[in-house]
Chains A and B, each alone.
Chain A
């Protein structure tokens, strides 16, 4: 099965299948479903940024929502002042990146939780700041915008057009991100994450790469903010809130940190679970979401992306029970909780 999947032809076929799915889906889905898909794309971009700095580079960031919110505010402001959309997009990426870089320059020498605290302070400071300058942000009421309406020649509805725009941008950003983490920079991040002293001895400056990681994360966060305004057409100080940051970190771990596919799964979890919880019982959403989160972490501590691997392990574990008393090779974590049958003494082959 693994060998089948590794074949390039099969991979291309699967990728093509998904491409067709993505392209065709909005044409046959309801506006609500398109909204959900689009929001998954928006938060996938935000999570990708978070994953770069936290999953790949190993630096705790509890402030990603601040960059999401900042990008959203820039986009809302630019759009309501009729700036060209490409300019708005560039600014939504560049300004948060600059802010992230400045913060990182100051704070990247800090370790662990001190750095986390600095990142926590970003949304904490951001919310009252957003309320303080209503000329730019619309204050606590927020700003509504109306843009990215489907052009006449496309024959599409608004939600379909926005879906395509967001998906194309998200896809491009994902390709960029993927290449980044698989390239030289990604390898440097991995070394900085595992042991800074080793990195230093190899000539890789942990400080520089941490700053770079934060800048990239903030850039993606800002881009996600732009996409957010494209779909929701509204932003307010709640977008910046600390609670959003916490939920983003949870979604990243649930999906699978340091994994591109995990990022997408995490975004899907982030968007879908509240809707599911609401369907079950809308007055008990916290209970259901919390229980679900704990359940997923218990069963799949490495995230949803590790599900295939886990199933393979479980299957192998069951298969191996019937065989010899060969000691399990190290690293093969046969699942706890599966029934342990007495080891068979027979040699079967």
Chain B
């Protein structure tokens, strides 16, 4: 009896120590992460392939834009892969793959996804959608020298100080720019106008307001009332009622949620308040916002535009749009089922990446960043002709050149005066 007990204990202890010994002496920790040596290749790139990673919200309320941020890029990459691959500056042709993960707009999850992608050996992290999610990743990406670029967000934080965060860059013109463009239009009218502002209660909203405020500074245009809202609000009727009491000439409705924006349009007119309205670029689509909101009732509806609308009859014969539609039907539609402008923007992002690849002389992340930041005067497919890709400025995102447009009953047309 004693013998069997003793032998059991002995076996147990030996097993434990054995396992421990194996663990300690066996595998050493593989060094994952950015290698800064220029001679050896960075992770994620071989002579025939390059792997990219992205984490966007693929579930939850922002899943529509999030899925589009993946789908458009995926369409461009896969379509090009099918014709043989991308040409690189070092003479090789490689196929580019994209791994996508869902972070449901949660920063901790996004950070976990980023680490997982880096662990799995991606070359670069591109095109992710979301502001708090990318904010959580930015310090880690820069510390580990992993490119975190062409982010689908208009927040200024990602592009405004590229000397401090050299591995991070945004894709889209900033919300500040949009507000500023609109403010410039108002200031240019030369008469005293009153403005009511409805803005989301976070940096999206404050950036818009700051842009507007800066642009109208010193002009007879004045902001007479402000209201904020949360994206989780059920309706903005209360806010619109409050603003309507000011009887302002102009309403800037910096609302990023489709149903709420439609509600704003219907509510204001139902109260008999018909100001001129400004809508942000991602909640201004005629089919989903203006028609349901009966925007025709307003004297003018302005917005900024960056990209061509694939479903619009105005672009039916456009070569870009045809290529986009074909690629999206073949690849992107598996990821995103409903169109948002982010689909077109991420498609253009694919073309920008292609430019960067062409300039990449060495198979390293450093060379990639250098090539990416040297693009000037490039017109990416699906972007309007007013939009230009210029990555050389260290305080601007990749795309600039917002076109100010006004609704003409069926679509948008450029406008330059109030």
Contacts and interface: CB of A to CB of B under 8 A. Distances in A.
B114 to A, nearest CB: 9
Query: Across chains A and B, which 7 residue pairs bring their CB atoms closest together, nearest first?
Result: A140-B202, A32-B119, A234-B136, A17-B16, A32-B115, A20-B20, A236-B132
B87 interface: no
Interface stretch (A23-31, A45-53, A291-299): A23-31
Interface residues of B, number: 50
Interface in B113-157: 113, 115-116, 118-119, 131-132, 135-136, 138-140, 155, 157
A189 B97 CA distance: 55
Interface stretch (A210-218, A279-287, A334-342): A279-287
B101 A31 contact: no
The binding surface of chain A is classed by DSSP as helix
B118 A32 contact: yes
Nearest to B201: A131
A313 B16 CA distance: 29
A274 interface: yes
Interface stretch (A56-64, A87-95, A141-149): A141-149
A312 interface: no
Contacts of A286: 59
B176 to A, nearest CB: 14
Interface stretch (A8-16, A77-85, A190-198, A325-333): A8-16
Contacts of A274: 109, 112
Given A13-B12, A285-B104, A31 B58 contact: no
Contact of A128 (B102, B116, B201): B201
Main secondary structure of the interface of B (DSSP, over half): helix
Contacts of B245: none
A291 to B, nearest CB: 14
Nearest to B205: A140
A139 B58 contact: no
Interface stretch (B21-29, B314-322, B346-354): B21-29
A282 B101 contact: yes
Contact of A283 (B12, B20, B58, B230): B58
A166 interface: no
Contacts, number: 123
A236 B135 contact: yes
A25 B105 CA distance: 30
A17 B16 CA distance: 6
A122 B77 CA distance: 45
Contacts of A283: 58-59, 67, 102, 335
Given A24-B23, A139-B202, A285 B59 contact: yes
Interface string A135-163: 00001111010100000000000000000
Given A140-B201, A285-B58, A35 B132 contact: no
Interface of B: 8-9, 12-13, 15-16, 19-20, 23-24, 26-30, 32-33, 58-59, 67, 100-102, 104-109, 111-113, 115-116, 118-119, 131-132, 135-136, 138-140, 155, 157, 201-203, 230, 335
Contact of B157 (A141, A278, A285): A141
A24 B26 CA distance: 12
Interface string A18-46: 00110011011111110110010000000
Contacts of B20: 17, 20-21, 24
- By CB atoms of chain B within 10 A, which of A13, A239, A278 has the most? A278
A186 B195 CA distance: 61
A293 to B, nearest CB: 15
B41 to A, nearest CB: 20
A261 B119 CA distance: 29
Nearest to A235: B107
Contact of A232 (B111, B118, B138): B111
B119 A285 contact: no
A35 B58 contact: no
A97 to B, nearest CB: 23
A144 B136 contact: yes
A242 to B, nearest CB: 10
A115 B166 CA distance: 50
Nearest to B155: A141
Given A30-B30, A238-B132, A285-B59, A142 B113 contact: no
A15 to B, nearest CB: 10
A264 B118 CA distance: 27
B135 A142 contact: yes
Contacts of B135: 141-142, 144, 234, 236
5 contacts: A17-B15, A128-B230, A141-B155, A141-B202, A283-B67
A141 B132 contact: yes
Given A144-B135, A236-B135, A238-B132, A31 B32 contact: yes
A306 interface: no
Contacts of A128: 201, 230
Nearest to B9: A9
B19 A282 contact: no
A8 to B, nearest CB: 11
A141 B26 CA distance: 43
Contacts of B19: 17, 20-21
